[in-house]
Amino acid sequence: SNPSLLILPGDGIGPEVMAEVRKIIDWFGAKRDLVFDVSEDLVGGAAYDAHGTPLHDDTMAKAQEVDAVLLGAVGGPKYDVLDFSVKPERGLLRLRKEMDLFANLRPAQCFDALADFSSLKTEVVSGLDIMIVRELTSGVYFGEPRGIFEEGNERVGINTQRYTESEIERVARASFELAMKRDKKLCSMEKANVMESGILWREVVTRVGADYPEVELSHMYADAGAMQLTRWPKQFDVIVTDNLFGDLLSDLAAMLTGSLGMLPSASLGAPMANGRPKAMYEPVHGSAPDIAGQGKANPIACILSFAMALRYSFDQGDEATRLEKAIEAVLADGYRTADLLGEEGRDPVSTSAMGDAIVAALDAS
Ligand code: NAI
Ligand code: MG
């Protein structure tokens, strides 16, 4: 049977960028015989408007069954007044939590046509293609004890960095599996010099590495890693790190290459019965209410999220590369949505014109 995909466009520019992804999905079905069973449903504010909840139980159940979920974005000013329990973001959080998506993948990929856009020197970013894997469900954001407590005559704020061996092991394994699909290089970052959790992290990652002799494993202190990421990011392929360091390092790495409108992400969980990991793919950006409904959104972040699904859920690495090359070609031809123009006085192309150009580039591939 065909691989299955649940599409959750969400709010704001979510449905606009997802409409362009649908064109790409249709192209792969018609021209590459790569047919997906696509279903579509509501999430976020759109689901709240229809059902009074940001994620219907039926949608949650469907998300657990499909091979991959592709999400647009949720939220918007209209929903800011809602009670926290039904806020659009809660739909997203429920998906991540119930699917137990513990590995957050954030690529930093430089399209040469946009190399000038980076704040770094062109030679530092040109051709860059690295992946940060951030542990997403444990660590200092969740560890107990946590809280603000009375201590003597003042208060103390406490968070606890806590990792079990199995939590480290599963994100390490996911990272080695990724490295196997890429350049077979993995760098693990922690602070084993000053943190107990870091010592355990390094030990467990090293142990898991014995199962992946083809992958070249290295370790780096996370602060040194931040320096190396800005100095010479091309030394890396896959980086795995904990929740807190990953939060910082993935934002840093993302901005090596430029616009929010270009950044995809994936969140992976445990392997399902068919061997594929539970997976949700989504652009890093939000619902962009300031430009929603105007045909200005850049659809590339969402299209690249689908490319990640091709590579990491559907074992279609070559087709993912074909799609990325089509995007590169369109950018090289000068197509720019408004977010990619900066101060230049050129006319931007619309969301749908960008999608059409990518389809045309696929046709030419
Ligand atoms: P945002 O990412 O929606 O927008 C930030 C800025 O980047 C805006 O100026 C926007 O126009 C621009 N931008 C974002 N994506 C773009 C694209 N594809 N093409 C061109 N320009 C783009 O973040 P913001 O404004 O902080 O949040 C807006 C709403 O989105 C809020 O309700 C927030 O809660 C929600 N949000 C949802 C996320 C998600 O669904 N994963 C993530 C971040 C925010
Ligand atoms: Mg962050």
**Binding-site annotation, residues:** 76-89, 96, 106, 134, 223, 247, 251, 286-298
Would you say the CB of residue 287 lies under 6 angstroms from ligand 1? yes
Instruction: Kindly report whether the global pTM for this prediction surpasses the value 0.90.
Output: yes
In this predicted structure, what is the pLDDT of residue 117? 76
Cα(358) to ligand 2 centroid in Å equals 29
Residue 49 is among the residues annotated as catalytic for this protein: no
User: What tens digit of pLDDT does each residue of 229-261 get?
Assistant: 999 999 999 999 999 999 999 989 888 877 889
Q: Is the pLDDT of residue 179 over 80?
A: yes
Burial annotation 187-211 (CB, 10 A radius, 16+ → b, else e) = bbbbbbeebebbebbbebbeebbee
In this predicted structure, what is the pLDDT of residue 211? 98
Any domain includes 142: no
Any domain includes 172: no
Any domain includes 112: no
Cα(147) to ligand 1 centroid in Å equals 30
- Please provide the DSSP assignment of 40-86 as one string: E---THHHHHHHSSSS-HHHHHHHHHSSEEEEEE---GGGTTS-GGG
Asked if omega into 145 is within 30° of 0 (cis), the reply is yes
- The ipTM is 0.97
Cα(160) to ligand 2 centroid in Å equals 19
Q: Is the pLDDT of residue 346 over 90?
A: no
Q: Is the pLDDT of residue 66 over 70?
A: yes
Would you say the CB of residue 76 lies under 6 angstroms from ligand 1? yes
Residues above pLDDT 90, as percent of the chain: 88
Q: Whose CA is nearest to atom 10 of ligand 1?
A: 288
Cα(247) to ligand 2 centroid in Å equals 5
Number of domains observed in the structure of the chain: 1
Q: What is the mean pLDDT of residues 158-173?
A: 97
Q: Which two tokens stand for residue 362?
A: 């696929």
Any domain includes 184: no
- Residue to mutate, 69, 93, 287, ligand 1, most ligand atoms under 8 Å from C-beta: 287
Any domain includes 84: yes
Q: What is the mean pLDDT of residues 300-326?
A: 97
Q: Is the pLDDT of residue 345 over 80?
A: no
Would you say the CB of residue 265 lies under 6 angstroms from ligand 1? no
Residue 223 is among the residues annotated as catalytic for this protein: yes
Supply the mean pLDDT for the chain. 95
Would you say the CB of residue 286 lies under 6 angstroms from ligand 1? yes
| Range with the largest mean pLDDT of 15-19, 246-250, 344-348 | 15-19
Point out the ligand nearest to the CA of residue 245. 2
Any domain includes 305: yes
The neighbour count for residue 365, using CB atoms within 10 Å, is 13
Q: How confident is the model at residue 344 (pLDDT cuts 50, 70, 90)?
A: low
DSSP state of 290: T
Q: What is the CATH number of the domain that holds 40?
A: 3.40.718.10
Lowest-pLDDT range of 4-8, 62-66, 342-346, 359-363: 342-346
User: What tens digit of pLDDT does each residue of 69-96 get?
Assistant: 999 999 999 999 999 899 999 999 999 9
Q: Which two tokens stand for residue 55?
A: 């994620």
Point out the ligand nearest to the CA of residue 351. 1
User: What tens digit of pLDDT does each residue of 106-130 get?
Assistant: 999 999 888 877 778 888 998 899 9
Q: Whose CA is nearest to atom 13 of ligand 1?
A: 288
Any domain includes 246: no
The neighbour count for residue 260, using CB atoms within 10 Å, is 15
Any domain includes 133: no
Would you say the CB of residue 138 lies under 6 angstroms from ligand 1? no
Atom of ligand 1 at shortest distance to CA of 298? 19
In this predicted structure, what is the pLDDT of residue 119? 77
Residue 237 is among the residues annotated as catalytic for this protein: no
Q: What is the mean pLDDT of residues 288-317?
A: 97
Residue 212 is among the residues annotated as catalytic for this protein: no
Q: How confident is the model at residue 150 (pLDDT cuts 50, 70, 90)?
A: very high
Structural domain span for residue 315: 1-103+260-365
In this predicted structure, what is the pLDDT of residue 254? 83
Cα(95) to ligand 1 centroid in Å equals 19
